[in-house]
Amino acid sequence: MKILIVDDDRINSTILHRLLSREGHQVFSAEDGQAGVEMFDSERPELVLMDIRMPRMNGYEAAREIKRLSSDRFVPIIFLTAVTDEEGLVQCIESGGDDFLTKPFNRILLQAKIEAMERIRRLHNELHSQKEELERHQERVQQELDISQHLFSNIVRAGNLLDAPCLRHISRPMSQFNGDLLVASYNPAGGLHIMLGDFTGHGLSAAVGAMPLSELFYGMTAQGYSIGDIADEMNAKLLSIMPTRMFCAACLLEVDIRQQSLMVWNGGLPDILLVDGNGRLQQSIASYHLPLGIRPFNPDDRKVSIFELRPETRIFLYSDGLTEAIRPDNQMYGTERLEHHFDGNLLPGLLFDTILADLDMFRAGAQQTDDITLLEINCARANEEAVSGTILADLDMFRAGAQQTDDITLLEINCARANEEAVSGTTAHARQKFIPPTNWSLSFFFSPQLLQTVDPLPAVINAVMNLQAPAGHRERIYTTLAELYSNALDHGLLGLDTRTKQTPEGFMRYYTMREERLAALEHGFIRLELTHIPQYDEKQQKIGGEMHIRVEDGGPGFDHHHVHSTLEGNLGHGGRGIALVRSLCTKLAYNEAGNCADVVYRWTI
């Protein structure tokens, strides 16, 4: 060892120097505290033998200074002292001493103390080395977590419409990664899809499953799949990639303001709360499916429930981390305390903030034990957004082909969509592959057995888009096909009457009858034919195309001459389909029987 002796007594210093040198140590000597500090700084010894009473700087002061200089390593200090009173010995320890040896000192005891200090020093160095290695490891782990968090955010949040004016949400993860997944996006028909998922566990392991589920959610929503189809695909994905012990309690919603309907698939999440315009709890929608990732779906697992939405309704969706939040005495917040806010004593607009404030007051700083998510859907705000989307369609119907008398300009700035494009780094148009207008045709035939099993519309839309994807027309083509297909199925084959949906009771009865009649359907068909013809200008340059669509059903048809379809009251439950198709397309014509519709949709580059 390198040992520093600090003692103004030359005899003691010389004796110690000889003894320690004989034992193989490298020894340095200083005649007072000031010189000892200077020599310590230059020689960096591994142990110090320190006298107390010295000129210029005593041993206590020198020990404090040496400890300051060696803050990054452990250098034991053994005081050499004739002091035997408790107060003096305590002062040795308080000034930074690690042990003391009283004069006159014993050679064997001195060597034993040096060896003990050396063992402690080696142990301290080993611990310090392990601490540094642990810190480097933690730094590497944190860098990887930061990268993972960046990727996680870009994948999960790209395209997310949670900033839409009709939504308010709060998400409080228990750790850096959120085990709750909250995503929202519009389908091609204008319906708002929302998913809240709550994975087992917390942190990164729980968040891993969120990435494939979010990609499925965005992709299938954009392609027009129903929430039942999306839940089925998500379940299969989790079963194929996740460990057996991990699953995801999830709820998927489709909010269709124009149809005033709410579709729900709930697998293991707390009740969905519907609140009326007076702030009172109108209805609780309980979970009726197993969470995702437990077992393969059977046909019943894909079923969704449909509820009527009133324009003033607010929908509250939350994870169990909210109701299971605890306060310092381990009492849980609970469902009863949450639902107590919906007693009509609060204005609806204050409910969201009041719940959060009450939750924070209840927890009183207690440690969070689960991820917490709360979402409010304000149907009145969504209603305002839906109204703006019908202005052009209503204008076209109103003009009815009359000559235009002035320039017409309408601008809508959709901040939610702009936010989506900013996050993803590219626009939807840039992602689509442009195919010049060309000739092509498609034909589909749907039997009762197929109609009972799947919704074929997303497959049709994607087939069309893969052949001809005119930018900005996907939503209009989807709406046209959806309305024609819905009319052919609901009215042509199933014989349902739209007027049934005009009352809340009739609304529920309509969809119950639809499900029953579809399950019992044995005869009939729906045939869909699409033909695309390029359009040219006077210089024979391609400027766009015409899509000719024919939808035929095997039903008895209807008297289309006396159907009064209008876009007035476009936010009602039905009766707008024919008028909406006419507003979007160049031509709509029914055959005499009323079971075959011919449509021409024109687009330009």
- The answer on 493 and 591 residing in a single domain is yes
**CATH code for position 522:** 3.30.565.10
Contact 268, 315 (CB under 8 A): no
429 pLDDT above the threshold of 50:
no
**Residues 82, 63: Cα–Cα separation, whole Å:** 17
Structure tokens belonging to residue 149? 């968090």
Q: Does residue 143 sit within a domain?
A: no
Average of per-residue pLDDT across 499-514: 81
| Strand 2-6 with 47-51, pairing | parallel
Q: Does residue 184 sit within a domain?
A: yes
**Residues 35, 25: Cα–Cα separation, whole Å:** 20
Of 206, 196, 295, 178, nearest to 251 by C-alpha is 196
What pLDDT, on a 0 to 100 scale, did the predictor assign at position 549?
A: 95
- The answer on 162 and 109 residing in a single domain is no
**C-alpha torsion 168→568→399→577, nearest 10:** 90
- The answer on 548 and 508 residing in a single domain is yes
**Residues 401, 573: Cα–Cα separation, whole Å:** 27
The larger pLDDT score, comparing residue 393 to residue 217, is at 217
- The answer on 421 and 506 residing in a single domain is yes
pLDDT in tens, 90-112: 888 888 888 888 877 778 888 88
Of 41, 45, 60, 42, nearest to 5 by C-alpha is 45
**Residue 195 phi, psi (nearest 5):** -135, 135
Q: What percentage of the chain carries pLDDT values higher than 90?
A: 38
- The answer on 482 and 395 residing in a single domain is yes
Residue that finishes a domain, picked among 336, 362, 381:
381
* 328 band by pLDDT with thresholds 50, 70 and 90: very high
- The answer on 295 and 244 residing in a single domain is yes
* 419 band by pLDDT with thresholds 50, 70 and 90: very low
Q: Does residue 150 sit within a domain?
A: no
What pLDDT, on a 0 to 100 scale, did the predictor assign at position 406?
A: 67
Residue that finishes a domain, picked among 82, 111, 127:
127
pLDDT in tens, 30-88: 999 999 999 998 999 999 999 988 888 998 999 999 999 988 888 999 988 876 667 77
Least trusted range by pLDDT, from 21-30, 156-165, 314-323, 354-363? 156-165
- The answer on 338 and 275 residing in a single domain is yes
The larger pLDDT score, comparing residue 605 to residue 420, is at 605
Least trusted range by pLDDT, from 66-75, 427-436, 557-566, 573-582? 427-436
pLDDT in tens, 122-145: 888 888 888 889 988 888 877 776
* 410 band by pLDDT with thresholds 50, 70 and 90: low
What pLDDT, on a 0 to 100 scale, did the predictor assign at position 65?
A: 92
Average of per-residue pLDDT across 205-216: 81
How many domains, in total, are found in the chain? 3
- The answer on 301 and 273 residing in a single domain is yes
Residue that finishes a domain, picked among 127, 145, 170:
127
Q: Does residue 446 sit within a domain?
A: yes
393 pLDDT above the threshold of 60:
no
List the domain range (segments joined by +) for residue 26: 2-127
For 227-244, give the DSSP string: HHHHHHHHHHHHHHHS-T
- The answer on 166 and 23 residing in a single domain is no
**Residues 586, 401: Cα–Cα separation, whole Å:** 10
265 pLDDT above the threshold of 80:
yes
Average of per-residue pLDDT across 326-355: 94
* 156 band by pLDDT with thresholds 50, 70 and 90: low
**Residues 23, 562: Cα–Cα separation, whole Å:** 116
- As a whole number of Å, the end-to-end CA separation of the chain is 85
Q: Does residue 524 sit within a domain?
A: yes
Average of per-residue pLDDT across 539-555: 89
Of 122, 103, 121, 101, nearest to 112 by C-alpha is 101
Average of per-residue pLDDT across 170-178: 82
**Residues 291, 206: Cα–Cα separation, whole Å:** 14
Structure tokens belonging to residue 398? 């109103």
Question: Containing H/E element for 341?
Answer: none
* 334 band by pLDDT with thresholds 50, 70 and 90: very high
What pLDDT, on a 0 to 100 scale, did the predictor assign at position 449?
A: 92
* 569 band by pLDDT with thresholds 50, 70 and 90: very low
For 435-478, give the DSSP string: -----EEEEEEE-HHHHHH---HHHHHHHHHHH---TT-HHHHH
506 pLDDT above the threshold of 50:
yes
In this prediction the pTM is 0.66
Q: Does residue 269 sit within a domain?
A: yes
Average of per-residue pLDDT across 156-166: 73
Structure tokens belonging to residue 358? 């009450």
- The answer on 551 and 471 residing in a single domain is yes
- The answer on 397 and 319 residing in a single domain is no
Peptide bond before residue 212 is cis, with ω within 30 degrees of 0: no
Q: Does residue 135 sit within a domain?
A: no
Average of per-residue pLDDT across 227-244: 90
**CATH code for position 213:** 3.60.40.10
- The answer on 342 and 217 residing in a single domain is yes
